[in-house]
Amino acid sequence: MTGNYIGLVLIACCPGGSSSNVFSKLAGGDVALITVFYIQHRHTILDNIGILGLCVTALILVAVGCSSLLSRLVRNDAQQRRTVVIEVGMQNAAQAIAIASSPFIFANEEMAIPAILYSLMMNIVLLTYVYFIRRKDKKVDLQR
């Protein structure tokens, strides 16, 4: 379980990047790597998914909430706030997975589990955010 907590810190420290699959495909990489990893390690993942999933989701929500608040405090406009929230909420999970499981760095597949969960949850949280922002924008446009 200690590896999971280190993995949470690891994903929080990785830069954002949502195009890694495209680059992997262009480079002739194994785009299905995460799926294979899951199939080979599903029992371990399923054992930890409950509590770890909550921790990962909490990390995303805290990051999004704090970035929105700080962006408001420095008086960014709505468009800038949206960008800050998305940039802070989206982390390069593929990089965290690579660092955690690399035989040259940590060589600990357990550390990659939070990054896998993060990649799923960040998309759910941020797509929900985008949905509500766009819905709000449509209401404002209709009122004009």
Tens-digit pLDDT profile for residues 83-134: 888 888 888 888 889 888 888 888 888 888 889 889 999 999 999 999 999 9
In which domain, by residue range, is 76 found?
2-143
Amino acid present at 102: S
Q: What is the pLDDT of residue 21?
A: 59
pTM beyond 0.75, yes or no: no
Find, among 75, 70, 99, 103, the residue nearest to 7 by Cα: 99
Predicted local confidence at residue 17, as pLDDT? 54
CA distances from 24 to 18, 27, 111, 130 (A): 12, 5, 21, 26
Per the structure, the count of domains in the chain is 1
The pair of three-digit structure tokens given for residue 22, joined into one six-digit string: 């495209």
CB neighbour list of residue 132: distance below 8 Å, 6 or more residues apart: none
**pLDDT number for residue 72:** 95
